[in-house]
Amino acid sequence: MRNDLKQNLLTATIYALTGLIGLAAFTYPFFLPRLVVDTSEARAETAPLLTLILLVICLGVLLLEVQGQTVSSKMVAALGVMVAASAALRFLEVAIPGPGGFSPIFVPVIFAGYVFGSRFGFLMGTLTMLVSALITGGVGPWLPYQMFVAGWIGLTAGWMPHPGNPRLELVMLIGAGIVWGIFYGLIMNLYFWPFIGIGTGQSWDQEAGLGKALGGFAAFYVTTSLVWDLARAAGNALLILVLGLPTIRALTRFHDKFRFRIQGV
């Protein structure tokens, strides 16, 4: 019991550190007095390091998860299968683009986090983005930022309660799909927005004040991204409405089966 507590504390510490690194990666331009480089130069320099950090963290968490638990090794195998399946959905998305920013890969991440827990969900989101990018050729300076946000989607899905009422459960999952459908695009805009308009006086400038900056970002988001994000949110809601309860039940049986085996050892 004491070893399990230490392992859980260590894993929680790793995830907290990951959150701080991700927060710093998205927000560091706002602490600079004035931006003088374009987005490709700024992000291309930090992206490989961020990707490496995320991979090391994922590997560390996986090693912690499999230590001394037969059930965890099986869950790691399940994680690999689910990541591969979700990455295949990304390939389908590229081959047959959906409307706006719709993408089918976020719903499996929400399901995984909700059923298997926040740690599993974080790994699911992070690794899904990595594997799908390798498959579709979507590797670029934006990749680690996508990995961070997708990991946060799975992480927060594991924090949701599990009500006994199936209708309430479905409404809750649909709400998560809608919220993250919008917030994914909103957060990802921070990846490049501070660098827009460099040399024209329209980029982030700390001296201009927070109010003007927020107004500029809001105008940019509404005019360029909101419609795409609403399409993603609507797609998430529709997929969860159609597939939510059957998929959750199937994944729960899968999860409980492994739990039963470990208790019987």
Asked if 116 and 75 touch (Cβ cutoff 8 Å), the reply is yes
> Rounded distance, CA 116 to CA 97, Å?
30
What pLDDT, on a 0 to 100 scale, did the predictor assign at position 120? 86
What pLDDT, on a 0 to 100 scale, did the predictor assign at position 182? 94
228, pLDDT greater than 80: yes
Q: What is the DSSP letter of 104?
A: T
3, pLDDT greater than 60: no
What pLDDT, on a 0 to 100 scale, did the predictor assign at position 28? 77
Phi–psi pair at 198, nearest 5 degrees: -60, 130
What pLDDT, on a 0 to 100 scale, did the predictor assign at position 4? 57
Prediction pTM value: 0.83
Q: Pick from 12, 18, 57: which is nearest to 148 by CA? A: 18
Structural domain range at position 16: 2-264
> Rounded distance, CA 244 to CA 110, Å?
10
What pLDDT, on a 0 to 100 scale, did the predictor assign at position 6? 61
Q: Which tokens belong to 36? A: 């003088």
What pLDDT, on a 0 to 100 scale, did the predictor assign at position 208? 63
Number of structural domains, the chain?
Answer: 1
Mean pLDDT of 168-197: 89
Q: Domain with 48 in it: what CATH number?
A: 1.10.1760.20
Between 54 and 200, whose confidence is greater? 54
Lowest-confidence region among 33-42, 104-113, 225-234: 33-42
Q: Pick from 226, 217, 221, 220: which is nearest to 30 by CA? A: 217
Residue 249 amino acid letter: R
Lowest-confidence region among 38-42, 155-159, 232-236: 38-42
